[in-house]
Amino acid sequence: MKQTAVEWFVEQLKSTRKKYMGYKNIEIDYKELIQQAKAMEKEQIIESWDNGYDLGKHDDQLNPDDAEQYYNETFKSE
């Protein structure tokens, strides 16, 4: 079974915490983990869009290539 981006992120946090438990003054680059989780989430959203399109649950004006546009308009903040 696939992991969601959130499940993956939680597992990464747990393993990082265990790995560095007992060390003092260790800096962990959470930015990289966050970026990876966001990329996974985007991929999962686009895949869901594509699956819905393939199953015929779309109106005739949608194009399967609109998945990335949908993601960017709905979830991307700048």
Q: What is the pLDDT of residues 21-71, one digit of tens each?
A: 666 656 667 788 888 888 998 888 888 877 777 666 556 666 666 777 777
Domain that holds residue 76: 43-78
Q: Is residue 64 part of a domain?
A: yes
Q: Is residue 65 part of a domain?
A: yes
Q: Is residue 77 part of a domain?
A: yes
Q: Is residue 60 part of a domain?
A: yes
Q: Is residue 31 part of a domain?
A: no
pTM of the model: 0.59
Assess whether pLDDT exceeds 60 at residue 12: yes
pLDDT score of 28:
67
pLDDT score of 16:
80
Q: Is residue 48 part of a domain?
A: yes
Assess whether pLDDT exceeds 80 at residue 76: no
Q: Is residue 38 part of a domain?
A: no
Separation CA 12–CA 28 (nearest Å)? 11
Total number of domains constituting the chain: 1
